[in-house]
Amino acid sequence: MNLYAIILSFAAYIAVIIFITGFIGRLVTYFRTPAPLRIPLTPAPKTYFGALMRLFGNAIFFYPLLRKSKFLWLYGYVFHVSFFLVIMRHLRYFLYPVPEWVMSFQSLGVYAGYSLALSILFLFARRMFSDRDVYISLTEDYFALFLLLIIAGTGLLMHYYYRPYLVDIKSFSLGLTTFDWSAPSTDLLFIIHLLSVMLLVIYFPFGKLLHSGAIWFSPTIGKPDDISVRKYKNPWDKV
């Protein structure tokens, strides 16, 4: 164990703590904010179950986006699915022995790495060349994409060209979970990859990435239209 291992491990812990407390804090705020006036979106389901199904449909298949443009839907969807697969693939660095189901994601995860990078490039290009998208894009949007591009790029480079010493990396990541800290490889690509991931994780609860949590509370998509059967009281203005 050396100073390098301790600094990186602590940085990782701080990032994860900020992520968890920040994200859960936001979710709690969302949950506790009242929604006095019902605004379900037409055509609204009549029951809570129906609303839940619609919410899942929306959150998993993004179908309002499909109405807008199949192209945008495609790379938006590819991006999210690839991101999920890549995360699944990375579980093998944190689990020992590696379970069967994580192993089954390994080759898929590599392809997903490609599609992830490709879809980020598309999403980037969209914000560079379509004048309406240029107008609405903020620094934050470019920053998030840029960060993801670095993460995906360094990840792919490490897989194909400059492979760092994996045993060190795994003992570092496993060490994080067992509080037995060890130094990871000092490979520059790996350090960039790791630091960008930490930055992303820290940034997550403070920016647009909150959309992943916010959608579950949506008063438009996730609420049924049952005003004729159920009475809703306004908690801050009782009548």
Partner 1 sequence: MKRKVYNEVIYDEQTPLLNVPELVDNKTSNTVCFKSKAKDMEPINLPTERVPDWQNKAVELFGEMLDKYKGLRLFMDSCVRCGSCSDKCHYFLGTGDPKNMPVSRQELMRSVYRKYFTMQGKIFKNSKDCVAFDDNILKDWFTYFYQCSECRRCCVFCPQGIDTAEVTMAAREIMARLGVGTKYVTEVVHKVYTTGNNLGIWAPAWIDNCKFLEEELIEETGLKIPLPVDVNGAEVLLVPPSADNFVNTNTMLGYAKMFYAAGVSWTTSTFCNEGGNFGMFLNYHNYKTINNRILKAARDLNVKYILWGECGHAWRAGYMTRTLSGSMDFLTVKYPKHVCQFTNEMIKKGAFKLDKTANDHLKVTYHDPCNVARATTGMLEPPRDIIRATCNNFKEMHPDTTREKTFCCGGGGGMLADELMSMRMAGSKPRCMAVKATGANYLATPCAICKANFGESLKFWDTGAVVGGVHDLLSNALILNH
Cβ closest to partner 1, residue 2 vs residue 67: 67
Distance, C-alpha 208 to centroid of its chain:
10
Query: Using an 8 Å Cβ cutoff, are 172 and 190 in contact?
Result: no
Cβ closest to partner 1, residue 31 vs residue 161: 31
Cis peptide before 43 (omega within 30 of 0): yes
What sign has the CA pseudo-torsion 163, 168, 170, 172?
A: negative
CB 23, min distance to partner 1, A:
11
CB 79, min distance to partner 1, A:
11
Q: Which residue has the tokens 């037409």?
A: 42
Cβ closest to partner 1, residue 168 vs residue 226: 226
Residues near 236 by beta carbon (within 8 Å), at least 6 away in sequence: 34, 36
Cβ closest to partner 1, residue 179 vs residue 230: 230
Q: How far apart are alpha carbons 56 and 106 in whole angstroms?
A: 27
Structure tokens at 77: 């969807």
CB 15, min distance to partner 1, A:
15
Residues near 230 by beta carbon (within 8 Å), at least 6 away in sequence: none
CB 155, min distance to partner 1, A:
22
Cβ closest to partner 1, residue 179 vs residue 236: 236
Q: Which residue has the tokens 């490609």?
A: 114
**Which residues contribute to the site for partner 1 (CB under 8 A)?**
26, 29-30, 33-39, 41-44, 58, 62-65, 67-72, 76, 126, 130-133, 135-141, 206-208, 210-211, 214-215, 217-222, 225, 227-229, 231-234, 236-237, 239
CB 69, min distance to partner 1, A:
5
Cβ closest to partner 1, residue 155 vs residue 222: 222
CB 38, min distance to partner 1, A:
7
Structure tokens at 129: 């060349």
